[in-house]
Amino acid sequence: MRPQFHFSPQSGWINDPNGAIRVDGVYHLFYQANPHGLVHGPMHWGHATSTDLANWAEQPIALYPEASGQCFSGSAVLAGDGAVAPEFGAGDGVLLFYTAHRDGPPSIEDQAVAVADRGMTRFAKFAGNPVLPTPGPRDFRDPKVIWHEATQRWIMVVTHGQSIGFYSSPDALNWQFESEFAEGRHDPAPNPGPWECPDLFPMRVQGTGETAWILVVGLGRGHISGGSGTHYFVGDFDGHTFRNRNVADLELFMDWGRDYYAAQSFSGMAGEDPLAIAWMSNWMYANHTPSEGFRGSMNLPRRLQLAGGPEGLRLVQYVDPSAARQFPELAGGVPASAVYRLRHRWVAPAGGRLALALFGEADPVLVVERKGGDRYEVTMLRQAHPAIEVIRGYETHFSFEAVVDGAFDLDVFVDNGLVEIGCAGGRHWVSNLYFPTDPAGTVTITS
């Protein structure tokens, strides 16, 4: 069941992506790792590199837990992207921001920095850590740092429980609080867990000269499909405050499936469509998935665009072409192996219904219905795992107006039971882990 093109560690546990950055043509992916066990444990920063986003070389562990705490999630930036305090001694190297987590009670979380050389072969924690001490015993973690060109300052977004804090710094060392974004979601009913692994980046709106900002938030619990998932907001950011362009209770998801969490965009991608990668699992069962030697993997890296439509500005995503071309196209309904890509364009009559079944199974994994006009409803399904009690069956629905009249596009990536499905030209994605008897079983489309 080990995936071929979704990154997984050679051994041990993996969860959130950290420090995603491209430097001198090499993609560096750091990630939460427990190299000594198959469950979430003392957090290290694992490290892998790639030049094509499909074939990854695992590197030595970059950051280790010690007296200041475990090395929880964070981000990476080139020191040369902005002004940096001389105390770092960074030169043209890389700053890795992470959360130093100390178990309690109560747990304490500080924001800290490690300095790496440009090739990221040497790592040293900053002697002056923490650079942003905890304001108190609370969820205060997962710093994402960017250079904000308009105000010539570094911006850090960090978890504040069920809200996101914004901090600024002229030199990446001295930080001050700017604002907090919560949108009234302190009520634990809809999303009972903390907001985690935030991200912030600007995007051009396709076909216009307009710029909007995307704020990405991981929901530890409370995702529409159950458990953890990834939410995003479209808004404006002036270097001080993020303002949502939509009503507070509108929930936008980067992925509607159960297995897309803690998405992080890569630094070092100026002038290109942003590139994001996520953890392909769910906290409801991540510690219990069937595996030997390793547990967990990343989603395929996706490029992001921002486009208008009947329902407003929405992210459009597509698997990076250098990764997508690694997947052989499915010809006919019987895959040559358990790794393949299926593209299907459905010209949908009013009231039409399409069902996609994988792995030679009778039950579909996805059902699409055209309800009337350009309105489509999508149902995703996964049956319960017969041997793992925590992996229960589920069914989730979402609906939207398609952009292209009378046609519905599917883009399906299957990698040994890991399935990612793009719908309607990439406007909606569904990512799920499956545990099939026959990963290379027959594929059936019924419409």
Considering the domain boundaries, does residue 345 fall inside one? yes
Domain identity same for 311 and 433: no
361: CB partners within 8 A, 6+ apart: 383, 436, 441
Name the domain boundary from 288, 321, 354: 321
Domain identity same for 404 and 270: no
Under the banding of pLDDT at 50, 70 and 90, the label for residue 187 is: very low
Domain identity same for 336 and 317: no
Complete DSSP assignment for 236-281: EE-SS-EEESS-TT--EES--SSS-EEEEEPBS-TTS--EEEEE--
Report the alpha-carbon distance of residue 38 to residue 165 in Å, rounded: 32
Least Cα distance to 130 among 116, 145, 114, 111 occurs for 111
Report the alpha-carbon distance of residue 277 to residue 262 in Å, rounded: 8
Domain identity same for 308 and 367: no
Residue environment code for 122-139, b if the CB has 16+ CB neighbours within 10 A, otherwise e: ebebbeebbbbebeeeeb
105: CB partners within 8 A, 6+ apart: none
Structure tokens belonging to residue 327: 């997947």
Under the banding of pLDDT at 50, 70 and 90, the label for residue 189 is: very low
pLDDT of the residue at 186: 46
Least Cα distance to 424 among 353, 356, 374 occurs for 374
Name the domain boundary from 256, 288, 321: 321
- pLDDT, tens digit, for every residue of 205-240? 999 989 999 999 999 888 999 999 999 999 999 999
Under the banding of pLDDT at 50, 70 and 90, the label for residue 179 is: very high
DSSP 321: H
Domain identity same for 221 and 296: yes
| Ramachandran angles phi, psi of 374, nearest 5° | -105, 20
pLDDT of the residue at 388: 78
Considering the domain boundaries, does residue 4 fall inside one? no
Considering the domain boundaries, does residue 1 fall inside one? no
Report the alpha-carbon distance of residue 29 to residue 278 in Å, rounded: 11
User: Does 115 have pLDDT greater than 70?
Assistant: yes
Report the alpha-carbon distance of residue 153 to residue 239 in Å, rounded: 8
**Cβ proximity of 140 and 109 under 8 Å:** yes
Q: What is the CATH number of the domain that holds 163?
A: 2.115.10.20
Under the banding of pLDDT at 50, 70 and 90, the label for residue 355 is: very high
Under the banding of pLDDT at 50, 70 and 90, the label for residue 402 is: confident
pLDDT of the residue at 193: 75
Considering the domain boundaries, does residue 78 fall inside one? yes
Type of residue at 247: V
CA distances to 169, 171, 195, 197, 376 from 135, rounded to whole Å, are 17, 21, 17, 18, 46
Q: Which residue has the tokens 């020191």?
A: 79
- pLDDT, tens digit, for every residue of 151-168? 999 999 999 988 999 999
User: Average pLDDT, stretch 34-47?
Assistant: 97
27: CB partners within 8 A, 6+ apart: 20, 21, 49, 50, 51, 53, 266, 301
Q: Name the average pLDDT for the chain.
A: 94
Domain count, the chain: 2
| 302-307 and 275-279 strand pairing | antiparallel
Domain identity same for 313 and 342: no
Domain identity same for 353 and 263: no
Domain identity same for 267 and 203: yes
User: Does 190 have pLDDT greater than 60?
Assistant: no
User: Average pLDDT, stretch 30-59?
Assistant: 97
Domain identity same for 222 and 116: yes
Considering the domain boundaries, does residue 6 fall inside one? no
Domain identity same for 294 and 349: no
Q: What is the CATH number of the domain that holds 417?
A: 2.60.120.560
Under the banding of pLDDT at 50, 70 and 90, the label for residue 116 is: very high
Considering the domain boundaries, does residue 49 fall inside one? yes
Considering the domain boundaries, does residue 388 fall inside one? yes
Domain identity same for 371 and 314: no
Structure tokens belonging to residue 161: 């429980």
Report the alpha-carbon distance of residue 161 to residue 15 in Å, rounded: 20
**Cβ proximity of 367 and 379 under 8 Å:** yes
Name the domain boundary from 257, 289, 321: 321
Q: Which domain holds residue 368?
A: 332-446
Known catalytic residues are 16
Domain identity same for 68 and 91: yes
Considering the domain boundaries, does residue 3 fall inside one? no
